[in-house]
Chains A and B, each alone.
Chain A
Amino acid sequence: MLAKIIGWLPQLLDGARITILLTICAVSMGLLLSIFLALGKMSKNRILSKFCGAYIFFFRGTPLLMQLYFIYFGLPQINMALTINSRFFAAFLAFSLNSAAYCSEIIRAAIQSIDRGQFEASKALGFSKAQTMRLVIFPQSIRRLIPPVANEFIMVLKDASLVSIIALADLTKVTRAISSSSGTALVYIPAMILYLIMTAFFEFIFHRLEARFSRYEV
C-alpha cells in the first residue's frame, strides 16, 4: 500500500502544484482587482458605482463552473480572437474575475468598518482622499481583511477542483485519473491529505500576518 502511494506521489504533487499555483495567482489578482471594484462601488460617480455593482452581482450570482465554461468554450465562439489556448490561463482568468467580486465585498466591508472619525481627522489635517486611503484607512483595514481573505484562499483552493472540466490537471483531476486507471479509490486518501496540507499552509501564513498587523492593539 505504502509503495503504491509513493508511486502515485509524483503525479499527485504535480496536480497539487497546479492547484496551489492557480489559487495563489487567482486570489492575488482578484484582490488587486477588487480594490478598484470596491472603491468604484463606493464612488460618488453613479455610473462607475453601478457598473461595479453589476460586475459583482454577475460574478457572485452565476456559478463559477459556468463562468469557467464560458471563458474557455464560449468566448472563442463570439470572436476567434478571444480564444484562450492555455488552459491554465483560462482558469486563472475565470477564478480571478470571480474572486475579485467576492474580495471586493470583503474590502468594502473592511473600509466601511473604519470609524468615521478617522476620515474626519484626515480631512481636517488636509490629507487628500487618496492620501487618506493610503495612509490611514487601508493600513487599518488590512488586519480586518486577513481572516476573510484567508477564508477566500481556502475556498478557492477547493473550488479549483472545477478546472478538471477544461482538462487542466489539478490535484482532483490527477487523483481521479489514478483512481480509474489503478482501479482503487484509496488514492483519495493521500490526495485529501495534500489538500489539508495546503489549507494548513494558508492558515499558518495568515495567522502570522494577523499577529503582525495587530501589534498596535492592546
Chain B
Amino acid sequence: MSMIRTEHLAKVFGDLAVLKDVNLEVEPGEVVVIIGPSGAGKSTFLRSLNGLEKMTSGKIFIEDELFYYRDHDKTISKMEAKKHKQLMLEMGMVFQRFNLFPHKTVLENVMLAPVHVKKMDKGRAEALAKELIGKVGLAEKQNEYPARLSGGQQQRVAIARALAMEPKMMLFDEPTSALDPELVGEVLNVMKDLADQGMTMLCVTHEMGFAREVADKVVFMANGRILEEGKPEEIFSNPKTPEARQFLRSVL
C-alpha cells in the first residue's frame, strides 16, 4: 500500500506548463525530500496534493483510494465529499510563511481545528495541544500571540498545529526558507524527531543536509518534471542527469 501516489499529474497556467506528467509514490513511514531549482514546480506539486492548487489533469491516490481525478480541467470523478474531506485531513501542511492565526494564542492556534473541524471535546483538544506544544519545545509560550515569537518558534507552532489534526502524512512547503539562518536548525530538529517517530513526510526544501541525513528518498525536479529519484547517496554522489548535476554543483 502506498500512502500517496500521483499518476500523470499535470498543471498548465495559460500556456505555461508548470507540472508535466508527475508520477510519485510515497510509502507509509517514508520521508521523501523534493529538491530542485526554483520554478521547477516543487511547491505547486505539493500544494496540488491537498487541493490548494487545482491540477489540470491527473490522478491522486491516498492509501490506494482514488482521491482526485481530473482531465483537462474537468473533475471526472470525485468521491463523496465527506470521504474526500476525511482523506484530505490525513495530510497536514506546513507553509513557508507559517500562516499562524495572528489573533489566536499559540494554544488557541493548535486547538482551533481539532475543536471546530473534528468536533473534539475542548478539554481533550487542550490536552492534545499542550502535549504537542511541549513536543516542539514551546510549553512556556503557549499563551503568547504569534507576533511575539521568532520565526523559528512560529514554524514550530505551525508544525504542532498541523499535528493536532493527527494526520497520517505531513507536507512541508519550504518550511525553513523564510527563516533567519540561525533559526533553521530548531525547525529541522523538530522535523527530524517527527521522521524518527515514523511520520510519513513529503518535504520541499533547500536544506541539502536535511535531505542527505533524514530522507529515505530524494526526488529531483526541474521544469515541471521529476528527473531523478532515489536514495540520497545515489542522487547526491552520482546524479545522472545534467540538470541534477548542475543544480547540485550550485547548491553544495
Contacts and interface: CB of A to CB of B under 8 A. Distances in A.
Interface in A128-150: 131, 135-136, 139-140
A123 B158 CA distance: 14
Contact of A117 (B91, B99, B113): B99
Nearest to B171: A124
Interface of A: 115, 117-118, 120-121, 123-127, 131, 135-136, 139-140, 216-218
Contact of A125 (B104, B113, B145, B147): B113
B145 A126 contact: no
B103 A140 contact: yes
27 contacts: A115-B99, A118-B99, A120-B52, A120-B99, A121-B93, A121-B99, A121-B101, A121-B158, A123-B51, A124-B52, A124-B91, A124-B92, A124-B162, A125-B161, A125-B162, A126-B85, A126-B117, A126-B118, A126-B165, A127-B113, A127-B117, A131-B116, A140-B103, A216-B147, A217-B102, A217-B145, A218-B145
Nearest to A126: B117
B227 interface: no
A152 to B, nearest CB: 23
A136 B99 CA distance: 11
Contacts of A126: 85, 88-89, 113, 117-118, 165
Given A125-B117, A127-B113, A139 B103 contact: yes
Given A125-B113, A127-B117, A218-B148, A117 B95 contact: yes
B200 interface: no
B116 to A, nearest CB: 6
B103 A216 contact: yes
Contacts of B141: none
Contacts of B116: 127, 131, 135
Q: Select the residue from B92, B97, B99, B162 with max chain A CB neighbours within 10 A.
A: B99
A131 B161 CA distance: 17
Contact of A216 (B88, B93, B99, B102): B102
Interface of B: 50-52, 85, 88-89, 91-93, 95, 97-104, 112-113, 116-118, 145, 147-148, 158, 161-162, 165
Contacts of A131: 116-117
B170 to A, nearest CB: 11
A217 B101 contact: no
A124 B93 contact: yes
Contacts of B145: 216-218
Contacts of A136: 101
Contacts of A125: 112-113, 117, 161-162, 165
Nearest to B114: A125
A139 B97 CA distance: 20
A124 B117 CA distance: 11
A135 to B, nearest CB: 6
A115 B116 CA distance: 21
B67 to A, nearest CB: 14
Contacts of B158: 121
